[in-house]
Structure 1
Amino acid sequence: MTQSLSEFQRRSGELNDLLCVVNLLTWDARTQMPPGGGETRAQQLATVSALARERALDPAFEHAAQDARDRPGEAAAAAQALDAVQAMRRVPEALTRELALLKSAAQATWAQAKARSDFAAFAPVLTRMVALNRDLADALGYEDHPYDALLNLYEPGLTGAALEPLFGQLREHHVALLRRIQARPAPRTDFLRRHYPAATQRDLCLSAAETFGYDLTRGRLDESAHPFEISFTRQDVRITTRIQENFLSGALFGTLHETGHALYEQGIAPDLTRTVLTSDLVGLYAVGGSSYGTHESQSRLWENRIGRSRAYWGQHYPALQRRFPEQLGDVSADEFHRAVNEVRPSLIRVEADELTYDLHIMLRVELERALIGGELEVAELPDAWNARMKADLGLDVPDGRQGVLQDIHWSSGLFGSFPTYTIGNVMASQFYGAAAQANPELEAQLAQGNYTPLREWLTDQIYRHGRTFTPHELLMRATGRGLDPAPYLTYLTDKYTGLYGLTPQEAQA
């Protein structure tokens, strides 16, 4: 970047500032804001979002981007800005404002409805949110299905048609492996439900995040109803977790998940700060990742591939026992490792094991696609949810809190974002494999608790680029191939074959 800012850089910086303000107001609403502040906060978010939209659609910004297209160091950002402006122009201002107003109000309504397990209280707001997202899809445009327009907000180039064969391949593999695992004895897990004081859990979560490289001079950990990561530039990247005193692994692995997101944002190159390459102009959100799927690849990689590995607990279990001597005094490291990798169908997505997690995602994707397409009405959603949970995971849903009301996404208007979790799982195995190929000593380093080489490889290949490349481009640059589920399926098969003592014939059947 030049010493004196160009007009395009100056205007991009102001836009990014406004989007960071949106993020800050959102973070406060989910962590600190008193319950009575919801209506006013919705107005504030709508106002700031409208200001950001006005700046982006100002002809002077478009002219500045056009002038920057041929300047070294600005071409990629200028091209993305011009594409975003064209997309934003297709969306009416009134729709953008109404969505911004509804998102904040809907999150407050959802939180109250979830606490009371009262879907009827949330249904009117959700009905309006679905209608607005249908309008958004129509405005953005699509070829085959309105859901595709929303998918592209989170994962550029992804379509429902592309998801179907991927989901089909994963479902066939996962269900077959699940049935074989269920025929084996379950590991001991009773100790995970003992009493673990919240303050000690919080200290544990902070320590675990720092161990992976989360910089607390540029971040902090808070509590929220649903864990999340959010950034206000790479210098201020915050995460939250949800602590339950009768469930140890929820807060810990939730924190490791959000740490993966935070490492991505903190690892963005300094010269991308306050640029279009750390701004989602269409979504009016400050985020530096190439896509939601790419972002999820990092949360899933650090949470599961590293945090649930035997190598990790070989290093860190003694310290965990020292924190909770009464709760874990009769538990070995092997028992703990098997427990946090237990395969057991769960009602709650964020508590699901690696194998059944994708089945949770497929359920949500199919239901929200039907909602957006008009094939399913909001009033029918709880029954449809419960039927799919029974068919896929064999579980009866006792109430809305543990069923259709468990996720914040629909109240936030994030229709189209759920597929990115599974896309992230697939990408994570590809990135990890490429890192191991590039560094033959990686496994030994991880076994010694040295996470710096892996983090530095990921930073160089993924994090530092922000939104410079598409997810496909990043995959090709880092791994030499596009999205490929084979490494992910191999990883899951090998992992659970070892954990459950399956024969090679059983694992591959």
Structure 2
Amino acid sequence: MTMRPASYDGLIAQLREASLLGSCAGVLGWDERTNLPPKGSELRGNQMALLARLTHEMVTSPKIGEALADLESWVAQLPPDAEEAANLREIRRSYERAVKLPNAFVEEMARVTTRSQGMWQQARQEKNFQTFQPWLEQILKLKREEAAIVGYSDHPYDALLDEYEPGASTAQITQVFRELSAELVPLIAAIQQSGITLSTDVLEGDYPTDLQQQFGMAAAKQIGFDFDAGRLDVTTHPFCSGIGPGDCRITTRYNPRFFNEAFFGILHEAGHGIYEQNLDATHFGTPLGQATSLGIHESQSRLWENQVGRSRPFWDHFFPKLRQMFPSTVAGVSPDAFYAAINRVQPSFIRVEADEATYNLHIILRFELEQAMLTGDLQASDLPGAWNERFRTMFGLTPPDDKLGCLQDIHWSMGGIGYFPTYTLGNLYAAQFMEAAREQLGDLDGDFRAGEFGRLKQWLTDSIHRHGQRYRAETLCQRISGRPLSHRPLIAYLQAKFTPLYGLR
């Protein structure tokens, strides 16, 4: 291997500095969604806009373009998955996208999305979409501009999707979703026609918030979230914020009359956090110190939340602890009844509380609606009606208000159009990765019954976390499982879980 040019080290140093500035914005973003007083929203918008402009100026500096050009012949001599080659591949991709966006546009996007999140929260509390509508219209206008500036070959949605899932296209996602739906919809129908209704009464008892927090934090710690390098707080819409090495913050929301909302939210965000905490800190500020894609990131949260957290072996270990923490609520409830309750399939309004079978229908709904809004086929003012009509068709339910309808997710207020498909991609990857882990590690269920999660966590770190962006998602999936992404592992997993619960054939 030829000697590494000084221009490479200079490029990396410049990007590390930009990442430090970005981490400052990360802290402000976390504070905005956990502690910021409502009247501070305008100031915070200006702060975020300034930081976004300064960061954008750093990552679009002509010096980066010059360094990339200077390093082109050198990197061509390296293996494609070499550290420097992978870094330069992803740096070039990000640079070529970022340099197309004017500073003024980036600043305006940060200002509008910061303010719009506050207005979304107010609209959600009021159950009134009209409060948020003008802000959604501004965001859609900006995202159309972004798609036009960045460019695309087929659909404007491609330009936005690529930010979250590099290399993916609207056509590919549509095909994946179509294949999944072809087997998922009949499975849901068979469950609904089984004549079996699983009781969830145990989940709707008295669960004091402080005890929920203790129980959730203990579980998160046991599966591998490091609270010396992270923290748990309360927010309207749960999220994980990876500020940087040694600082990863997760959030949840508590319902003292419903167990699932906080507990599985904590497991979900802890899954994201474990990924962030196990990225290679020596690569902070470079692509090798960042997650592969949002689909891969989501695979980690869904794996711990569902593949592990809703499994019977997990609760063989945790159910006695639950009974000790909430004796008056759980006393007299059998482990079988509790396991059935947390795995009941029942169409419902809220995506983040949806069961594993119907969850992906929530994503398909959003995927279709945001494409239509982006192209102008659906006006923002018509979103509540379109949402309710489509929801009634897919779930057989009509949301009683906007809070349970089109205002339930924060993503559009953040400008996150193109984000939602990564949730279903995450479910697909999670099932395929877990299948591979079981094949390679053997009796994981025995580990879980014993409260031991270290082998799985280490396998995930070795297979996924430590690589950062060395491999694109599709390549990583092939390396881990020996085949491209498929809907079949997820369907097999769901069938194996729900067949005995619902007496299916």
- TM-score band by shorter chain is over 0.9
| Alignment-derived partner of residue 440 in structure 1 | 442
Question: Residue 249 of structure 2 aligns to a residue in which SS?
Answer: strand
TM-superposition CA deviations, 1:446-472 (whole Å, max 9, x none):
232211111111100100111222101
State how far apart, in whole Å, the 2-side matches of 1:165 and 1:472 are.
15
Q: Offset at 1:68?
A: 5.2
What does 1:448-467 align with in structure 2 at a 5 Å threshold?
Answer: 448-467=450-469
Once the two structures are overlaid, the 10-residue window that deviates more, 92-101 or 304-313, is: 92-101
Q: Offset at 1:92?
A: 2.3
Task: Please tell me the residue identity of whatever aligns with 1:363.
Answer: L
Query: 2:36 matched to 1:33?
Result: yes
Query: 2:20 matched to 1:20?
Result: no
| Alignment-derived partner of residue 78 in structure 2 | none
Match of 2:117 among 97, 100, 107: 107
What does 1:84-99 align with in structure 2 at a 5 Å threshold?
Answer: 84-99=94-109
Task: Please tell me the residue identity of whatever aligns with 1:156.
Answer: P
What does 1:52-201 align with in structure 2 at a 5 Å threshold?
Answer: 52-67=55-70, 70=74, 73-183=83-193, 184-201=195-212
Q: Contact 1:106 / 1:412 at 8 angstroms: preserved in 2? A: yes
State how far apart, in whole Å, the 2-side matches of 1:244 and 1:310 are.
24
Match of 2:480 among 478, 481, 485: 478
Gap runs ≥5 in structure 1: 279-287, 504-509
Q: Contact 1:68 / 1:75 at 8 angstroms: preserved in 2? A: no
Question: Residue 244 of structure 2 aligns to a residue in which SS?
Answer: coil
Give me the TM-score of the superposition, normalised by structure 1: 0.94
Q: Offset at 1:65?
A: 4.2
State how far apart, in whole Å, the 2-side matches of 1:476 and 1:234 are.
28
Which ranges of 4 or more aligned residues in structure 1 deviate by more than 6 Å? Answer: none
Task: Please tell me the residue identity of whatever aligns with 2:309.
Answer: G
Q: Offset at 1:164?
A: 2.1
Q: Contact 2:314 / 2:448 at 8 angstroms: preserved in 1? A: yes
State how far apart, in whole Å, the 2-side matches of 1:331 and 1:460 are.
39
Give me the TM-score of the superposition, normalised by structure 2: 0.95
Query: 2:229 matched to 1:226?
Result: no
Q: Offset at 1:66?
A: 4.3
State how far apart, in whole Å, the 1-side matches of 2:117 and 2:189 are.
37
Q: Offset at 1:435?
A: 1.0
Q: Offset at 1:202?
A: 0.7
State how far apart, in whole Å, the 1-side matches of 2:125 and 2:394 are.
26
What does 1:257-276 align with in structure 2 at a 5 Å threshold?
Answer: 257-276=268-287
| Alignment-derived partner of residue 494 in structure 2 | 492
Q: Contact 1:66 / 1:82 at 8 angstroms: preserved in 2? A: no
Q: Offset at 1:270?
A: 2.4
Question: Residue 254 of structure 2 aligns to a residue in which SS?
Answer: coil
TM-superposition CA deviations, 1:276-334 (whole Å, max 9, x none):
434xxxxxxxxx21000000011000000000000000111000010000011121111
Once the two structures are overlaid, the 10-residue window that deviates more, 169-178 or 299-308, is: 169-178
Q: Contact 2:298 / 2:422 at 8 angstroms: preserved in 1? A: yes
Task: Please tell me the residue identity of whatever aligns with 2:340.
Answer: R
What does 1:247-396 align with in structure 2 at a 5 Å threshold?
Answer: 247-278=258-289, 288-396=290-398
Q: Offset at 1:436?
A: 1.2
Equivalent pairs counted in the alignment come to: 493
Task: Please tell me the residue identity of whatever aligns with 2:240.
Answer: E
Query: 2:217 matched to 1:206?
Result: yes
Task: Please tell me the residue identity of whatever aligns with 1:131.
Answer: K
Question: Residue 355 of structure 1 aligns to a residue in which SS?
Answer: coil
Q: Contact 2:90 / 2:469 at 8 angstroms: preserved in 1? A: no
TM-superposition CA deviations, 1:45-98 (whole Å, max 9, x none):
110111111111112233334455647743321232122111112222222111
| Alignment-derived partner of residue 507 in structure 1 | none
| Alignment-derived partner of residue 282 in structure 1 | none
Q: Contact 2:268 / 2:301 at 8 angstroms: preserved in 1? A: yes
Task: Please tell me the residue identity of whatever aligns with 2:141.
Answer: A
Once the two structures are overlaid, the 10-residue window that deviates more, 371-380 or 179-188, is: 179-188
Match of 2:421 among 416, 419, 422: 419
State how far apart, in whole Å, the 2-side matches of 1:146 and 1:254 are.
32
Once the two structures are overlaid, the 10-residue window that deviates more, 53-62 or 397-406, is: 53-62
Match of 1:215 among 213, 226, 231: 226
Task: Please tell me the residue identity of whatever aligns with 1:448.
Answer: A
Q: Contact 2:367 / 2:421 at 8 angstroms: preserved in 1? A: yes
State how far apart, in whole Å, the 2-side matches of 1:467 and 1:434 are.
20
Gap runs ≥5 in structure 2: 76-81
Question: Residue 412 of structure 2 aligns to a residue in which SS?
Answer: coil
Query: 2:250 matched to 1:239?
Result: yes
Once the two structures are overlaid, the 10-residue window that deviates more, 59-68 or 335-344, is: 59-68
State how far apart, in whole Å, the 1-side matches of 2:95 and 2:285 are.
17
State how far apart, in whole Å, the 1-side matches of 2:201 and 2:225 are.
31
State how far apart, in whole Å, the 1-side matches of 2:471 and 2:394 are.
36
Task: Please tell me the residue identity of whatever aligns with 1:113.
Answer: A
Q: Contact 2:433 / 2:481 at 8 angstroms: preserved in 1? A: yes
Question: Residue 354 of structure 1 aligns to a residue in which SS?
Answer: coil
Q: Offset at 1:234?
A: 2.8
State how far apart, in whole Å, the 1-side matches of 2:204 and 2:486 are.
37
RMSD of the TM alignment (CA)?
A: 1.6
| Alignment-derived partner of residue 79 in structure 2 | none
State how far apart, in whole Å, the 1-side matches of 2:455 and 2:475 are.
23
Match of 1:407 among 374, 397, 409: 409
Aligned-pair identity (%)? 41
Task: Please tell me the residue identity of whatever aligns with 1:176.
Answer: P
Task: Please tell me the residue identity of whatever aligns with 1:457.
Answer: W
Task: Please tell me the residue identity of whatever aligns with 1:112.
Answer: Q
State how far apart, in whole Å, the 2-side matches of 1:46 and 1:453 are.
43
Q: Contact 1:66 / 1:78 at 8 angstroms: preserved in 2? A: no
State how far apart, in whole Å, the 2-side matches of 1:207 and 1:63 are.
50
State how far apart, in whole Å, the 2-side matches of 1:350 and 1:464 are.
28
Once the two structures are overlaid, the 10-residue window that deviates more, 356-365 or 83-92, is: 83-92
